[in-house]
C-alpha cells in the first residue's frame, strides 16, 4: 500500500501533545526476504503527516535492527517502508521489543513482541483481503455489458464486499475497545474515494472509542482527533435534521455528504442558477441522461449554472464508482439511505430521474423536467 496518513481526511487542526514524558526507547528488529543490503525507511505518524525517523540498511541476510526514541506514554504509529511503499505498519509503545519478518514475494509479514502491532496487522490484513476481492471483481465488471445479468450480479457482490468489510470492522472495534489499532480502523479507506466509516451516523463509533481510550491515553493527539470527529459528525446530523424541515428562501435546503464524506448544503449554491437532480446510479438509462446533463453543464456552468445531484443509491461504492467512471464534474452527494433520505420527502420525489430548476433569486422555476425542456428553461434564464 502507498504511504497515506490515516487521519488526513479529518481536515482538522488538532494539537499534538503538551509536556512530554522522559524519553524511553523501543527496539524494532527483523528481516526482509529478498531485501539484502537494501535501504529501508522508518516513518512516524503525527496527526496529519509522516515524519522520517531513520534510514536502515539491511545486512546480507536482509536483517536489520533499529531503536526509536519515544517521548510519550501512548502507542504511536510507525511504518517500515521500501521505496515509498509501506511494508509493515507498527503500533509502538515505550519498552517494546518488536520482531518483524517480511516476505516481499509472498506479500506476507509477521509480527511478534507487540500486541498492539499484532492487532494492527489483523485489521490491515482484513482490509487487504476485501480490497483484493473487490479489485478482482472490478477487473471482470469493467469489460462487461452493464445491463447483462452477470454485470448486475457482480455489481451486487461489489456492494456486498463493502458492507461485509464494514461489519467486520465494527466487530473489531467492539472486540478491541482499548486498542489504538481501533483508531486506525475508524479512519481506513475502502477505496481512494470512500472512507469505510463515511456515514455521519458513524459518529457513535468515534464517540464510543473515545470514551474507551481517553482514560488510558489522555494526552494522545489521536484521542483528541476521535473526539473532534465525533462532535463534528454529531453537529452535522443535528443540522441536517433541522434543515430537512426548514424553508430557505424559495427552496428547502438539503445537506448531504459528498464523495469525501464532507456535507455539502444546497443552500451554499444560493445566488446561482441551480439544477437539482435526483437519480440512481445503477440505472443505465439514468447514466445516459447524465451525459445529456453534461452537455448542458458545459454550456451553462461558465455562465453561472451549478448542478447538485442527489443519489438515491443504498450501495455507496457503486454510486462512487459511477461518479468516477462518468467523471461527473458537479456536486454529487449520497447518504446511502436510498428513498429514506430526508431529501426525498423534502422535495416530494416519487421517481428518478427528477430534475428541479432554481433561479438566482432562490425560486423554484419548475420540476420534473426532461433534459430537453430543461435546456429551453436554461436558455430563457441565461438570455442576455
What are the tens digits of pLDDT across the range 58-97? Answer: 999 999 999 998 877 889 999 999 888 888 899 999 899 9
Could you please report the per-residue DSSP string of 140-201? HHTTS-TTSHHHHHHHHHHHHHHHHHHHHHHHHHHH-TT-THHHHHHT-EEETTEETT-SGG
Q: List all residues 6 or more positions away from 349 whose beta carbon is below 8 Å from its beta carbon.
A: 278, 312, 343
Q: 24-113 adopts what CATH topology?
A: Immunoglobulin-like (2.60.40)
C-alpha cell at 27: 527496539
pLDDT tens, position by position, 280-290: 998 888 989 99
How wide is the angle at C-alpha 254 spanned by C-alphas 249 and 259, nearest 5°? 145
Residue pointed to by grid coordinates 516513518:
43
Domain with CATH 3.40.30.10 in the chain: 254-381
SS (H, E, C) 101-136: EEECCCCEEEEECCHHHHHHHHHHHHHHHHHHHHHH
| Residue closest to 39 by CA, chosen among 72, 18, 62, 14 | 62
Q: How far apart are CA 62 and CA 56, in angstroms?
A: 11
Domain with CATH 2.60.40.180 in the chain: 24-113
DSSP at 2: B
pLDDT of amino acid 311: 95
Q: How far apart are CA 293 and CA 290, in angstroms?
A: 5
Which residues of the chain have a pLDDT value below 50? 1-22, 246-248
pLDDT of amino acid 124: 93
Q: 254-381 adopts what CATH topology?
A: Glutaredoxin (3.40.30)
Q: Which residues pair with 26 in a beta bridge?
A: 68
Q: Hey, is 232 helix, strand or coil?
A: helix
Phi-psi region of 325 (alpha: psi -120 to 50; beta: other; left: phi over 0): alpha
Q: List all residues 6 or more positions away from 133 whose beta carbon is below 8 Å from its beta carbon.
A: 161
C-alpha cell at 107: 506479500
pLDDT of amino acid 125: 92
C-alpha cell at 384: 442576455
Q: In the chain, helix, strand, coil percent, each to 5?
A: 40, 25, 35
How wide is the angle at C-alpha 344 spanned by C-alphas 342 and 349, nearest 5°? 165
pLDDT of amino acid 234: 81
Amino acid at each position: 500500500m502507498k504511504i497515506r496518513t490515516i487521519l488526513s481526511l479529518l481536515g482538522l487542526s488538532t494539537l499534538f501533545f503538551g509536556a512530554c514524558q522522559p524519553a524511553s526507547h523501543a527496539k524494532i528488529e527483523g528481516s526482509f526476504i529478498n531485501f539484502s543490503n537494501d535501504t529501508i525507511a522508518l516513518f512516524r505518524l503525527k496527526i496529519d503527516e509522516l515524519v522520517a525517523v531513520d534510514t536502515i540498511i539491511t545486512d546480507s541476510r536482509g536483517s536489520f535492527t533499529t531503536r526509536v526514541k519515544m517521548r510519550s506514554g501512548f502507542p504511536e504509529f510507525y511504518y517500515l517502508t521500501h521505496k515509498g511503499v509501506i511494508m509493515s505498519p507498527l503500533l509502538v509503545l515505550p519498552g517494546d521489543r518488536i520482531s518483524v519478518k517480511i516476505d516481499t514475494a509472498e506479500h506476507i509479514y509477521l509480527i511478534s513482541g507487540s500486541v498492539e502491532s499484532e492487532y494492527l496487522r489483523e485489521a490491515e490484513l482484513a482490509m487487504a483481503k476485501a480490497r483484493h476481492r473487490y479489485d478482482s471483481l472490478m477487473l471482470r465488471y469493467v469489460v462487461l455489458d452493464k445491463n447483462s445479468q452477470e454485470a448486475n450480479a457482480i455489481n451486487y457482490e461489489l456492494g456486498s464486499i463493502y458492507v461485509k468489510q464494514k461489519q467486520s470492522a465494527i466487530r473489531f472495534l467492539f472486540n478491541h475497545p482499548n486498542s489504538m489499532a481501533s483508531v486506525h480502523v475508524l479512519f481506513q479507506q475502502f477505496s481512494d474515494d470512500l472512507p469505510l466509516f463515511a456515514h455521519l451516523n458513524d459518529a457513535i463509533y468515534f464517540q464510543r472509542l473515545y470514551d474507551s481510550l481517553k482514560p488510558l491515553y489522555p494526552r494522545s493527539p489521536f484521542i483528541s482527533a476521535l473526539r473532534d470527529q465525533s462532535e463534528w459528525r454529531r453537529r452535522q446530523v443535528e443540522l441536517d435534521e433541522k434543515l430537512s424541515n426548514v424553508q430557505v428562501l424559495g427552496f428547502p435546503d438539503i445537506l448531504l455528504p459528498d464523495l469525501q464524506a464532507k456535507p455539502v448544503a444546497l443552500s451554499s449554491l444560493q445566488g446561482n442558477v441551480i439544477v437539482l437532480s435526483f437519480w440512481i446510479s445503477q440505472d443505465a438509462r439514468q447514466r445516459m441522461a447524465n451525459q445529456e446533463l453534461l452537455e448542458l453543464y458545459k454550456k451553462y456552468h461558465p455562465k453561472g449554472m451549478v448542478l447538485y445531484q442527489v443519489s438515491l443509491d443504498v450501495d455507496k461504492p457503486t454510486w462512487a464508482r459511477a461518479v468516477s467512471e462518468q467523471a461527473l464534474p458537479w456536486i454529487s452527494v449520497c447518504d446511502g439511505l436510498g428513498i429514506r433520505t430526508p431529501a426525498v420527502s423534502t422535495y416530494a420525489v416519487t421517481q428518478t430521474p427528477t430534475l428541479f430548476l432554481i433561479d438566482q433569486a432562490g425560486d423554484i422555476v419548475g420540476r420534473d423536467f426532461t433534459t430537453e425542456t430543461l435546456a429551453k428553461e436554461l436558455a430563457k434564464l441565461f438570455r442576455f
